Amino acid sequence: MVSLLWCSPGRSQPSVLDPIPPLEPYPDLRNQGFELSTETEYTLGAGDVIRVTVLPVGDFSGEDQILVDGTLFVPLLGTFPVQGLTLTQLTEFLTQQYRQYVKRPSVTVGLVSPRPLKLAIAGEINNPGSYLLPIEGRQKFPTVTQLIQQAGGLTTVADLDNVTIKRQFQ
């Protein structure tokens, strides 16, 4: 039997069961009408690299990586938690915030590079354990075959009819 533990993008690491609480003095965006996303949308988390474009003030634009604590620094606005927000929710929040300083701001947020997936594999595998697999190119998720290859392949007694995939969500 081969068992896989998969934490999809936008989800916590396998060892973390609870979302990271907002840190003071950062505002909790969920209390400002920004609900956590549905499973169909990519949610932001530590390690994601995003590009924020603010027009007509290009000086506020740039690429940034979301920090380990799930926060992001944005010019003029400061630092706030973005863990668990979608790109759309972050765009709406930044647009609202920049309206205080810029007349009719046009804000776009795009994902430049998603964080790697942390996957665990156990069972009849040559090298069971945890692996970080990058999301390459336009690929949405790594395949089970890629994870098995990363773990050194199957042993000779592996039963491919008995593979279990387990997903852990927040």
| Statement: residue 9 has pLDDT above 70 | no
Q: Which domains does the chain have, with CATH numbers?
A: 43-113 (3.30.1950.10), 117-151 (no CATH)
pLDDT in tens, 139-153: 666 778 888 888 999
Contact 93, 29 (CB under 8 A): yes
End-to-end CA distance of the chain, in Å?
A: 26
Three-class SS state of 108: strand
- The stretch 21-50 carries a mean pLDDT of 62
Using one digit for the tens of pLDDT, what is the confidence trace for 102-125?
A: 889 999 999 988 888 788 889 999
Can you say how many angstroms the Cα of residue 29 is from the centroid of all Cα atoms in its chain? 17
